[in-house]
């Protein structure tokens, strides 16, 4: 048991080290793009460039996830709450835009925000979450607290690992998925989790973005 526990700990340290390395390199290489995105958000709409939102992470603990602000300030979240309820409780299909967790033609989103979402550039600040240890490069999507309230008991397994910037459902035909199917892929990832699977998902992420026009 001691040897097996040591191996598990070593794998966890290796993956954490890889996350830190990749996030650090990405932040250095992409720093000009990060600055340009922040400037674009600030000059095209009123409010801060960055947006911090409470999400549920590993072990069900809340953390603040960073993104570029893509919506107008002080938006009501009720519209998205109703959408999530339709997806999880009424089990409707994914939105017309092919995005499981985001509304199509959301009136709260700014023009710059739509561009950032299409290209997934709004997700770049999550690299800071990886550095902090709140997130990993690969893992289940970080869920909102009111989404978690609608989860079935079996979905709790997704909180056994850190949430990720990208994940299995993002590279598995997400435009054709319902929210329930996306959750099942998150569970499948947790059960199969290994370094090889993480590397495979990372390699699949870039072509998946180009094939569907962004939005992680």
Taking only the tens place, the pLDDT of each residue in 108-164 is 889 999 999 888 899 999 999 999 999 999 999 999 998 898 888 888 999 999 999
Low-confidence ranges of the chain (pLDDT < 50): 93-98, 213-216
Q: What is the pLDDT of residue 215?
A: 41
C-alpha dist (Å) from residue 119 to 81, 91, 92, 149, 211: 24, 28, 26, 30, 11
Q: What is the pLDDT of residue 103?
A: 57
Q: What is the pLDDT of residue 216?
A: 43
Crossing angle between the packed helical segments 111-119 and 31-44, to the nearest 10 degrees: 160
Q: What is the pLDDT of residue 73?
A: 82
- Cβ(52)–Cβ(64) below 8 Å: yes
CA distance 8 to 150: 32
pTM of the model: 0.83
Q: What is the pLDDT of residue 3?
A: 54
Q: What is the pLDDT of residue 163?
A: 96
Q: What is the pLDDT of residue 172?
A: 82
């Amino acid at each position: 048991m001691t040897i097996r526990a040591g191996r598990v700990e070593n794998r966890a340290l290796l993956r954490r080290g890889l996350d830190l390395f990749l996030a650090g390199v990405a932040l250095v290489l992409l720093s000009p793009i990060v600055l340009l995105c922040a400037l674009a958000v600030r000059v095209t709409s009123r409010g801060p460039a960055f947006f911090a939102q409470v999400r549920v992470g590993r072990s069900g603990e809340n953390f603040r996830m960073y993104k570029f602000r893509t919506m107008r300030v002080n938006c009501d979240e009720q519209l998205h709450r109703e959408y999530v309820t339709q997806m999880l409780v009424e089990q409707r299909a994914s939105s017309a835009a092919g995005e499981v967790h985001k509304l199509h033609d959301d009136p709260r989103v700014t023009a710059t925000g739509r561009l950032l979402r299409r290209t997934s550039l709004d997700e770049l600040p999550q690299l800071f979450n990886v550095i902090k240890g709140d997130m990993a490069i690969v893992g289940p999507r970080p869920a909102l607290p009111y989404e978690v309230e609608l989860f079935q008991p079996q979905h709790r397994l997704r909180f056994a690992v850190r949430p990720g910037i990208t994940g299995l459902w993002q590279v598995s035909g997400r435009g054709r998925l319902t929210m329930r199917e996306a959750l099942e892929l998150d569970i499948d990832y947790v059960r199969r989790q290994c370094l090889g699977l993480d590397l495979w998902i990372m390699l699949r992420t870039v072509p998946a973005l180009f094939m569907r026009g962004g939005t992680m």
